[in-house]
Amino acid sequence: MALKILQNFDSNFTLEPQAKTTLFKLLTNESFLKQLCQKLQCEQLEFTELLFQPVPYSTATPKGMPAEFEKYHHSEDYTIINVPPNFMFNAKIFKPSRLCAIYRKNNG
């Protein structure tokens, strides 16, 4: 089986307003934020409302994300998480099948 090299991958997507509202409520839920803070050992997290679809690794996208989001990957002030599949399902988001969310750390 040969590997297929992708030259271009369209990572653009649009969420329906109701799906976006539901997803944002889940991503900003207090108990979910507390869980993340515990795992990341930070005092507080703020959802930046930035989402992206993971992209195939390539020379142009070595981190598996659109290039404009790499600055968050390199910053210690931010964290990137995979949106939990049950959040995607509850928000009725099936395309794209995976999303990542960006949070800003606030250590007081």
60: number of Cβ within 10 Å: 11
**Segment (H or E) for 72:** helix 70-74
Select from 102, 97, 75 the least CA-distant residue to 11: 97
Q: What is the mean pLDDT of residues 60-82?
A: 90
pTM of the model: 0.85
Q: Return d(Cα 28, Cα 22) in angstroms, integer.
A: 10
Q: Per-residue pLDDT tens for 15-63?
A: 999 999 999 999 999 999 999 999 999 999 999 999 999 988 777 778 8
Q: Of the candidates 87, 85, 81, which has an alpha carbon nearest to the alpha carbon of residue 101? A: 81
Q: Which tops the pLDDT comparison, 6 or 41?
A: 41
